[in-house]
Structure 1
Amino acid sequence: MKLLRSLLATSVACVAFTGAAAHAEDVNFGIISTDSSAVLKQRWQPFIDDMNRQTGLTVKAFFATDYAGIIEGMRFNKVQIGYFGNASAMEAVDRSNGEVFAKILYANGDAGYKSVLITNVNSRFKTLDDVFRDTKDVTLGYGDPNSTSGTLFPGYYLFAQRNVPVNSTSFKTVLPSSHEANLLAVVNNKVDIATNNTEMLDTLKKQHPDRFAQVRVLWTSPLIPSDPLVWRKDLPEATKEKLRNFFYHYAKTDPHEKAVMANITGYGGFAPSTDAQLIPIRQIALFQQKQKIESDTKLSADDRKSQLAAIDAKLGALPAAPKE
């Protein structure tokens, strides 16, 4: 009887190990919701198909209605690898056991992209001065809370520099949405102004030049580092190696692969990267926190001093940002 129990235990252990090994070959690839799921699937599915074929992994695309859905998906291991913006990648690294391992390359050789503030070409807003003359009479289409170009960069470089917090007190209405929805809202005169990025504008210009002609750019940000790819740190090393080989070599010479990447908003491939590319994003996020604390009239002097000191310590602890 003891021998039988021992054999059964060994058998169960072998089955469990085999199941775990098989599961390690299943990878959900999360893609942040810059557009509708239907549009994203059309752009990314050929790439996912190539990944399946070349790596031998079982890769499935994972879409959510907002950026947080992908971040949380990775946190609970429903997503093992993801395409993020820099701000959402920072959240995935901090909260979801994530690690940056690659970044996007652009077919035109650009090192990144830029945030923009846009309006309809026929709107009453011709310059930024028109916008900030009375923001309480302005309807703003804003980005996802975890969007780099839709929220973080304009929040810091545009609105914070003019001491205008993005909320319902400063603006008539603030409507957070995806880049695609905000762009269409501007084209169709549903909002006064909206944040967006140069990637979306380039795509609109190529695919719908008539709609692009309806857009006026009021402001353009400094360069945002190209979007990172993040995987969970606890992926098996063998799986990571397969992914490295795929991403680092994809679309270097093959015409089909180049066409697939070009269809994903003008991309040209990938390059190795690390968490270090997020350092400038961390600096901006900490500066924004600092500004909020400094303007919070509900805080006591001691609490304000303590919280500001904590942020200064975090800023001081950050290494220098990597040079391109």
Structure 2
Amino acid sequence: MKKFILGGLAALALAGTASAEDIKQLNFGIISTESSAALSKSFEPMLKDLEKAVGVPVKAYFAQDYAGVIEGMRFKKVDLAWYGNKSAMEAVDRAGGEVFVQTTKKDGSKGYYSLLLVNKSRTDLNEVKDVLDCSKGLNFGNGDANSTSGNLVPSYYVFAINNVNPSNCYKNVAVSNHEGNALAVAMGQVDFATNNTESMDRLAQSRPDDFAKIKEIWRSPLIPSDPLVWRKDLPSDVKAKIHSFFLGYGRLGTPEEVSRAREILKTTSDGWGPFVASSDAQLYPIRQLELFKSKLKIQNDEKLSADEKKSKTAEIDGKLADLSKLMETTPNM
């Protein structure tokens, strides 16, 4: 691990000539999965340690929604950030971002699951087919448009492949963060909502009474653990320090330092383990999912002629083929 980190530092040092002296403060973006106060408390110890490692103040950056953090990076108000995979993809494509490490769970696993939740009192809602009946007039709690587990994954696996458009199917579609959706289900404000296993782990600890009122009726395929993304145009020596910090955090140092860092990671977000190296290749499965969803939407669009559908789906098939080749030649894909 030490050789790997040192090798990475050398490569980063050759990547540019800008100096760390140009950076007076780093802003760390945090997506709004729950209240800013709870997230700030969760991330503060790790960000304080990052501050010591890079030698400049590190401040948490919050926005009302995921798009706010993405736009913050686009306009250089955010230097690095914790994203979900879908929002990371947007940051890479639109905000000059680049994935550099990936989170892991406390047990070392590198994935989580999207969920559909209902209140335990709802004996009529027990599986996916029960919420796909548009005649019921249900109220649906959807996730942020840039959320992987709260929106992208269920929009494909639950709605798109079942030819259901939530906007036309449900009495009301409310959009909130993960915590807001879970609480809306617990309080009976919506009939069902999207969420994920990470958020539910946090809720079980922070609001056990509300957690006890909720049941899961659907679970997605495994989603890759969240990435951290930095601005590609950060000075190379700053990126070297950031890279070294995250790959060494909870791994390098005295036994006491390693133990302390791992305890901090356990209380960050829903509970993390040490970070692992990653890249934009982590986003390939998410890009694939987005293309599949777009293809289904085109095929089911009654406003398009047969020729238009053929042309548009052929274009998507070409992109999918290119993506498959990339995935085949990328290690660990």
Instruction: Note closer, same or farther for the CA distance 1:236–1:214 as it changes in structure 2 (3 Å cut).
Output: same
What does residue 151 of structure 2 align with?
151
Is residue 302 of structure 1 aligned with residue 307 of structure 2?
A: yes
What does residue 317 of structure 2 align with?
312
Per-residue CA distance 1:2-53 (angstroms, 9 max, x = gap):
xxxxxxxxxxxxxxxxx98543242111111111111111111111111101
Is residue 132 of structure 1 aligned with residue 132 of structure 2?
A: yes
The question of whether the paired residues in 2 share the 8 Å contact of 1:135 and 1:172 is answered with no
Alpha-carbon distance in 2 for matches of 1:157, 1:257: 37
Alpha-carbon distance in 2 for matches of 1:103, 1:117: 25
Specify the SS of the correspondent of 1:222.
Answer: coil
Alpha-carbon distance in 1 for matches of 2:207, 2:40: 19
What does residue 283 of structure 2 align with?
278
Alpha-carbon distance in 2 for matches of 1:216, 1:197: 12
Measured after TM superposition, the shift of residue 165 of structure 1 is: 1.8
What does residue 80 of structure 2 align with?
81
Alpha-carbon distance in 2 for matches of 1:269, 1:299: 49
Per-residue CA distance 1:285-312 (angstroms, 9 max, x = gap):
0011111111112223333222222211
What does residue 240 of structure 1 align with?
239
What does residue 260 of structure 1 align with?
264
More divergent stretch after superposition (81-90 vs 210-219): 210-219
Alpha-carbon distance in 2 for matches of 1:44, 1:205: 19
Specify the SS of the correspondent of 1:255.
Answer: helix
What does residue 3 of structure 2 align with?
none
Measured after TM superposition, the shift of residue 129 of structure 1 is: 2.9
User: In the alignment, residue 125 of structure 2 is paired with which amino acid?
Assistant: F
Measured after TM superposition, the shift of residue 202 of structure 1 is: 1.4
Alpha-carbon distance in 2 for matches of 1:21, 1:85: 28
User: In the alignment, residue 288 of structure 1 is paired with which amino acid?
Assistant: K
Alpha-carbon distance in 2 for matches of 1:237, 1:177: 37
The question of whether the paired residues in 2 share the 8 Å contact of 1:225 and 1:277 is answered with yes
Instruction: Note closer, same or farther for the CA distance 1:236–1:20 as it changes in structure 2 (3 Å cut).
Output: closer
Measured after TM superposition, the shift of residue 139 of structure 1 is: 0.7
1:1-324 alignment, distance < 5 Å: 22-123=21-122, 124-134=124-134, 136-167=136-167, 169-252=168-251, 254-264=258-268, 265-318=270-323, 319-320=326-327, 322-323=331-332
User: In the alignment, residue 257 of structure 1 is paired with which amino acid?
Assistant: A
What does residue 11 of structure 1 align with?
none
Alpha-carbon distance in 2 for matches of 1:277, 1:21: 28
The question of whether the paired residues in 1 share the 8 Å contact of 2:149 and 2:196 is answered with yes
Alpha-carbon distance in 2 for matches of 1:277, 1:176: 27
Instruction: Note closer, same or farther for the CA distance 1:133–1:213 as it changes in structure 2 (3 Å cut).
Output: same
Alpha-carbon distance in 1 for matches of 2:319, 2:24: 38
Specify the SS of the correspondent of 1:311.
Answer: helix
Identity of aligned residues (%): 49
User: In the alignment, residue 258 of structure 1 is paired with which amino acid?
Assistant: R
The question of whether the paired residues in 2 share the 8 Å contact of 1:154 and 1:221 is answered with yes
Per-residue CA distance 1:121-162 (angstroms, 9 max, x = gap):
002312323222336511110000000000011111111221
Instruction: Note closer, same or farther for the CA distance 1:135–1:287 as it changes in structure 2 (3 Å cut).
Output: farther
User: How many residues are aligned here?
Assistant: 305
- Unpaired runs of at least 5, structure 1: 1-18
- Which 4+ residue blocks in structure 1 deviate beyond 4 angstroms? none
Alpha-carbon distance in 2 for matches of 1:301, 1:157: 25
More divergent stretch after superposition (134-143 vs 274-283): 134-143
More divergent stretch after superposition (61-70 vs 246-255): 246-255
RMSD: 1.7
Alpha-carbon distance in 1 for matches of 2:55, 2:44: 16
Measured after TM superposition, the shift of residue 221 of structure 1 is: 0.4
What does residue 16 of structure 1 align with?
none
Specify the SS of the correspondent of 2:221.
Answer: strand
- Unpaired runs of at least 5, structure 2: 1-17
Alpha-carbon distance in 1 for matches of 2:91, 2:65: 14
- More relative contact order, 1 or 2 (CA 8 Å, 6+ apart): 2
Specify the SS of the correspondent of 2:222.
Answer: strand
